[in-house]
Amino acid sequence: MSHVNATLTPRTRLRLARLIVDQGWTYAAAAKMFMVAAKTARKWAERYRAEGAAGMADRSSRPHHSPAKTPPHLVRRIVRLRWRHRLGPVQIAGRLGVAASTVHAVLVRCRVNRLSRVDRVTGEPLRRYEHDHPGSLIHVDVTKFANIPDGGGHRFVGRQQGYQNQLATPGLPKGKDYKPRTGKAFLHTVIDDHSRVAYAEIHTDEKADTAAGVLQRAVAWYADHGVTVERVLSDNGSCYRSFAWRDTCAALGITPKRTRPYRPQTNGKIERFHRTLADGWAYARFYTSTDQRNTALPGWLHFYNHHRAHSAIGGRPPVSRLTNVPGHHS
């Protein structure tokens, strides 16, 4: 590919050089024909004599020597301070006695200029991955949301009115303090690593049999969308370490994998999906009951999979990474 401002392409340079070298044209005549300077015609003719057609390609504009370049040992110190202490360019420059602009240039070159690219726990650069085709890996997890009393929860109506709504909701169990308990909804979520197409079910627990049943139905749902699941990644929750989970994976021909303990970043795609789920569905609007919120879930999942732009896949909806999907254009 030629430089953006180049007048001649490699093919045109070759034609120009051959007119001068092979056919005896003068530099001025050839330059006039191609509307360039005679000096430019001479340059390409001499390069053609020395290197042949291969010499017509663009060369790197990088200088052979950079005497003012930051020394490697200083680069390592700058990056080490960034990783271990999460310091900014001004703080690093103060410690090392160099210009803040130099520090910033090094951080940009090493791709650690944004703290969002550095792991908060270890200080190491984030290592992102993505499997190359749908079904190669799915992520599973369970997230919890408090049930909503009749009339609305405290997030929208305030704590005092929310407590009154709890008291007025029939059938709620009472705790040791004799106050009503709304309980929790356990949302079992599944997301495909490559496409980010998601599946979710609401349950009253996170037991092994429940998780295994969700996996079976999720695999069947993905199969209906033309996706064959090969591996499943989960955390180290008890339901995912159970015999029921192991046997279900074996029956489905899926390889089970688990994250490193106390390392939720490995399952980061589904953790991020939970945040999107909370913002877009669970807390997006005022619900007057748990049933009303549950009824809204399928519609939101359809919107997420088919219509919502996903920044990690180029601003397209997840289903765009699948083919021949029913309802793709609905």
pLDDT reported for residue 329: 46
C-alpha atoms less than 13 angstroms from C-alpha of 91 in its C-beta half-sphere: 7
Considering the segment(s) 138-147+183-321 as one domain, its CATH architecture is 2-Layer Sandwich (3.30)
Alpha helices in the chain (DSSP H): 10-21, 27-33, 38-51, 72-85, 89-96, 100-109, 154-157, 159-168, 208-224, 243-252, 268-277, 290-306
Assess contact for 150 and 156: CB atoms under 8 A.
no
pLDDT reported for residue 176: 76
Which tens digits make up the pLDDT trace of 9-21? 888 999 999 999 9
Domain boundaries defined on the chain:
10-56, 72-117, 138-147+183-321
Which tens digits make up the pLDDT trace of 6-53? 678 888 999 999 999 999 999 999 999 999 999 999 999 999 999 999
Which tens digits make up the pLDDT trace of 255-270? 999 998 877 777 889 9
Tokens 């029913």, residue located: 326
Q: How far apart are CA 324 and CA 172, in angstroms?
A: 46
pTM of the full structure: 0.62
Distance of CA 175 to the CA centre of its chain: 42
Assess contact for 294 and 187: CB atoms under 8 A.
no
Whether residue 327 has pLDDT greater than 60: no
Q: How confident is the model at residue 156 (pLDDT cuts 50, 70, 90)?
A: confident
Mean of pLDDT over the chain: 87
pLDDT reported for residue 330: 47
Assess contact for 162 and 154: CB atoms under 8 A.
yes
Which tens digits make up the pLDDT trace of 103-134? 999 999 988 887 765 655 555 555 667 888 99
Which tens digits make up the pLDDT trace of 168-220? 888 788 877 777 788 899 999 999 999 999 999 999 999 999 999 999 999 99
